[in-house]
Amino acid sequence: MSTPDRLIEATRELLWERGYVGTSPKAIQQHAGVGQGSMYHHFPGKSGLALAAIRRTADELRAAADRSLDGPGTAYERIAAYLLREREVLRGCPVGRLTMDPDVMASDELRAPVEETIGRLRSRLTEIVREGVDRGEFDRAVVPGEVASTIVATVQGGYVLARASGSTAAFDAGVRGLLSLLAPRGAGRCAPADATPSV
């Protein structure tokens, strides 16, 4: 791994664990195993490195979501695949966590990839729910944008509940409950009781 990549990966991990304030240049250098000169040779400072790290994290989250949402199956099946995909639930969402970081939210530059990622996810989910409505899979009264927001809120809220309790059970229960509410009309199905979206 190149020095810039080591620095970016170290920053990603530290941002996820400690947030922006808790991620000092010294901690990044130690985590990456590089010296101060190497860090400032490749990046103008902490904020520039944090931006590169946030962008990479956002890109990976979008790619992971796309693998589920762009896969085969009905609208319900693709939403279920997204909700049930493997996650490190007790660590929380690496992008969602940044919305609670006041320093990130106060910076237009650092906030932009966070807003873009969450907005893009809501937009893609809205499209999929609308497909389900158009095909008669979901009730015509369903408002796609509102359901999309509910899906995102369930995932992000599930992370909070799981971290607060120290158990993935609350996240898993939220996912099962949402899938039972979204189950296509007349299908009588929901996520299996032993579904474990959190690994």
pLDDT digit string, tens, across residues 22-56: 899 999 999 999 888 888 888 888 999 999 999 99
Section 1-15 average pLDDT: 93
- The CATH number of the structural domain formed by 55-182 is 1.10.357.10
- Distance (Å) of CA 49 to CA 2, 25, 45, 110, 162: 14, 9, 6, 10, 30
Q: Is the pLDDT of residue 192 over 60?
A: no
C-alpha angle 91-95-98 in degrees, rounded to nearest 5: 90
> Which band of pLDDT confidence, cut at 50, 70 and 90, is reported for residue 188?
very low
On average, the pLDDT of the chain sits at: 91
Report pTM.
Answer: 0.86
Name the percent of the chain lying above pLDDT 70.
92
CB 34 within 8 Å of CB 73: no
Q: Is the pLDDT of residue 185 over 70?
A: no
Instruction: Provide the token pair at 63.
Output: 């790619």
